[in-house]
Amino acid sequence: MRTERGFVLVGVIWFLAIMTLVVASAVTWIERSLDGIEKERQGLLRDMTERSMLSRLTWLASTQRLTLAGLTTPDSPAPSLADMDMSVLPVGAELALDGREYCLANGWCFAFVDRASRLGLEQAPPAALASLLEGLGIAPERIAPMLAELAGHLRGPPGSAALRSLHAPQEVFVLDSWRPWEAALRAAGWEELVTVGEPSLNVNTASGQLLRLAWRLPEDSLALLLAARHERPLRGVGDLEGVLGMYLQQLPAENWSRLASATLFIRLRPADAVARYEYQLRLESDDLQGSPWQFLQRRSLPRNVPITDTASIHHEAPGLLSAPLVASP
């Protein structure tokens, strides 16, 4: 009798233990499921608010002529009051296109990047491109073959008069002499320094790192140039000569400009997170019956994107952008 009771007691204990494990596993599974659902909800909420913010930035950049830095100067005529609203900035106070961040009261930060702030691979002076490659760690004896193969690739097949265009900066890595250096150049921020489809480099928006590497600007001259263009956009050779002096003679005589490209990169992020994507937007659409802008692509940003060498600006943006994110304009 006692033996039977003992077996029953052991069975009950085992049953309770197994049920405890089952319940604990079920609770753990439910908690993990709830955590996953919450992460999905947070991700969806971020996507929705990012889309809303992107719509506002797109509308602002494509409809307000005073938004693009470098296109007006303090001497430009002021707009009439009838044209002004909370979304328009005064002459000389345009949103910068050099990658500096604007952090708003609604918890989001954004940056505009002029495509002409990056060195165009098709029409870049060979000396500037060679200097950039050397500054990014390419062995000097390997640079000449790389430039020669790139030039041959751009010329296209024999007998073709038209030059071949690149579709993206990473397209050069299909070339034999470039392929071994792909990992090193990408890690050094290759896609942050070069672009395609741009005939000239904008001295008003190019990063200090690019100017130092491609133009070999000394640190003191570079600091003077960055400070001068922060006061007002550089408007020509005279402004550059006043900043760089005799060193101007060592720079390319052409392939640089003072104006922004019609193509703009937009980066967005919550104030407590990093930017995930770079949106490429063309503000001069060829479609006369469509919108005045055209989305070209969305690029995922690597985690090692270099930090801009310009400080963030907090709460200094049109009211349209700082408003709570409840709907697109």
Spell out the residues 6+ positions from residue 211 whose beta carbon is closer than 8 angstroms to its own.
Answer: 203, 217, 222, 225
Q: Are 175 and 223 part of one and the same domain?
A: yes
- Which residue stretches of the chain are H helix? 2-63, 126-135, 140-155, 182-187, 190-193, 208-214, 219-231, 237-244, 319-322
Number of domains in the chain: 2
Which CA distances in Å does 249 have to 206, 223, 242?
Answer: 19, 18, 12
Residue 211 inside a domain? The answer is: yes
Same domain, 102 and 230: no
Are residues 216 and 132 part of one domain? yes
Query: In terms of domains, do 172 and 235 share one?
Result: yes
- Residue 99 and residue 140 share a domain: no
Residue 62 tokens, joined: 């494509």
Tens of pLDDT, residue by residue over 98-126, are 888 888 878 888 888 989 999 999 989 99
In a domain, 290, yes or no: yes
Both tokens of 70, joined, read 């470098």
Pairing mode, if any, of strands 313-314 and 294-300? Answer: unpaired
154 plus 217 within the same structural domain:
yes
Query: 106: which 2 tokens?
Result: 């609604």
Do 61 and 86 fall into the same domain?
A: yes
Q: Are residues 186 and 295 in the same domain?
A: no
Q: In 10 A of CB 96, how many CB atoms?
A: 22
Query: Quick check: 328 and 55 in contact, CB under 8 A?
Result: yes
Q: pLDDT digit string (tens) for 214-234? A: 999 889 989 999 988 887 778
158 alpha carbon, distance to own chain's centre:
37
Report the candidate in 81, 82, 86, 115 with the shortest Cα–Cα distance to residue 98.
115
**pLDDT one-digit tens code per residue, 179-218:** 999 999 999 989 999 999 888 898 888 999 999 999 998 8
**pTM of the predicted model as reported, rounded to 2 decimal places:** 0.75
Domain final residue pick, 206, 234, 255: 255
Both 219 and 273 in a single domain?
A: no
pLDDT of residue 288: 63
Q: Are residues 267 and 240 in the same domain?
A: no
- For residue 39, is it within any domain? no
Q: How many residues are present in the chain?
A: 329
**Residues paired with residue 280 on neighbouring β-strands, in sequence order:** 265, 297
Residue 16: inside a domain, yes or no? no
- Domain span including residue 162: 119-255
CB 318 within 8 A of CB 86: yes
Helix crossing, 219-231 with 237-244: angle to 10°? 130
Beta partners for 201? 256
**Looking up tokens 């009771």, which residue turns up?**
5
| Amino acid occupying residue 240 | L
Q: Which token pair is 162?
A: 């038209």
Residue 35 counted as domain residue = no
Residue 88 within any structural domain of the chain: yes
Give me the pLDDT at residue 242, please. 85
- Dihedral sign for Cα atoms in the order 304, 167, 309, 125: positive
Q: In the numeric block, which tokens belong to residue 183?
A: 């990992």
Per-residue pLDDT of the chain (329 residues; tens, 9 = 90+): 555 565 667 777 787 888 888 888 888 888 888 788 888 888 788 888 888 888 888 877 776 544 444 455 555 555 554 444 445 555 555 677 888 888 887 888 888 898 999 999 998 999 999 999 999 999 999 999 999 999 998 886 666 656 778 888 999 999 999 999 999 999 998 999 999 988 889 888 899 999 999 999 889 989 999 988 887 778 778 888 888 888 888 777 778 888 788 888 999 888 888 888 899 988 776 666 667 778 888 888 876 554 455 556 665 565 656 555 443 33
Q: Is residue 66 part of a domain?
A: yes
Point out the domain boundary residue: 212, 236, 255. Answer: 255
On whether residue 285 sits in a domain, the answer given is: yes
- CB-based contact 196:167 (threshold 8 Å): yes
Q: Are residues 272 and 173 in the same domain?
A: no
